[in-house]
Amino acid sequence: MADKLGRREFLRGAVTVGAAALIGGCGPRGGRGARISGAAGPRVPEHVMGAKPMLVIAAGRKIEDRVRAAVSELGGMGRFVKRGDTVVIKPNAAWQRSPAQAATTHPEVVSALIKMCKEQGATRVLVVEHMIDMPPRLIWDITGLGAAARGAGGEAVSAHDQRGYVKVNIPHGKVLTSDEVIRDIVEADVFINAPIPKVHNASVITASMKNMMGVVWNRQYWHQVGLQQSIADFSTGVRPDLIILDANRILLTNGPKGPGRTKDVLQVVAGFDPVAVDAYAATLLGFQPSEVPHVELAYKAGVGQMDLSKVQMKHVKA
């Protein structure tokens, strides 16, 4: 009898502990970066407000050199990453495509970023993606991004379970007023968006703002309520701390998945302003920024500057 009671007690204890762990683990842990907008207006970090937004366009012999040159001109990785931080990088890793096909972010861009974060003492660097092609293991392999992440001391995370997402309000959204966002991003200390510029059959181009479609759970909904407005809406709500545009090789036709015609631009662009970055990406792909509806919509919503003449563009060479 005592034995049975003991077992029951044990079970009760185990259930309590388990439930506590579940509840405790559910809420967002809350990182340092306040990149989720509040009611006051689209959140524009202090270093962007007031100043002329800056884009650094880096050339150089190697991809890693370009990434380093671009970030250092922007103030260096130490400006963003502090010792002990958790950093999340969102590349474009949606497709079963090799780096040469320019449908996904180049692995060297990602490994360079991870190394730089690690040099600043980041504890964890996660490379996250909610993929479109499946299965994740295959995509991490073919894009080279899994090996790049692991090789540089980061971790690849396939965000394919809804439980890994938290609801985020988008108070200034017109059609998108809330969305479920990968928890790692919401909780991270630093969030870096690392897209690749491509033409896009539905959104004209894809660069930084469109890349954010891979951090939400239900991206199908964006299509239902209007893709261009949704992209702009989301950019009013969730803002990366740093954007690194992988313009080493860009996709000019049959985007976003390709295979299509590619062009070697051999640049890495760094900036804070998603609209300015995407406006610049549009020009690389042969469009006027005003020809890309979500760029214009985000500009009108106050997310950033689409007029490149009002952007401070710094060209550097590694």
Enumerate binding residues for another protein (CB under 8 A): 21-22, 24-26, 29, 96, 126, 132-138, 142, 146, 149-150, 154-161, 163-164, 200-203, 219-224, 226-228, 254, 256-257
Nearer residue to another protein within complex by CB, 71 or 282: 282
Nearer residue to another protein within complex by CB, 132 or 318: 132
**End-to-end Cα distance, the chain:** 77
In the complex, minimum distance from the CB of residue 312 to another protein, in angstroms, rounded to a whole number: 33
In the complex, minimum distance from the CB of residue 118 to another protein, in angstroms, rounded to a whole number: 14
Q: How far apart (Å, rounded) are the C-alpha atoms in residues 24 and 5? A: 28
Nearer residue to another protein within complex by CB, 57 or 157: 157
Phi-psi region of 125 (alpha: psi -120 to 50; beta: other; left: phi over 0): beta
In the complex, minimum distance from the CB of residue 98 to another protein, in angstroms, rounded to a whole number: 10
Nearer residue to another protein within complex by CB, 72 or 143: 143
In the complex, minimum distance from the CB of residue 22 to another protein, in angstroms, rounded to a whole number: 6
Q: For residue 163, give both structure tokens.
A: 């439980």
Nearer residue to another protein within complex by CB, 165 or 272: 165
In the complex, minimum distance from the CB of residue 201 to another protein, in angstroms, rounded to a whole number: 4
In the complex, minimum distance from the CB of residue 196 to another protein, in angstroms, rounded to a whole number: 15
Q: For residue 292, give both structure tokens.
A: 């890309």
Residue 218, C-beta contacts closer than 8 angstroms, at least 6 positions apart: 179, 180
Nearer residue to another protein within complex by CB, 28 or 76: 28
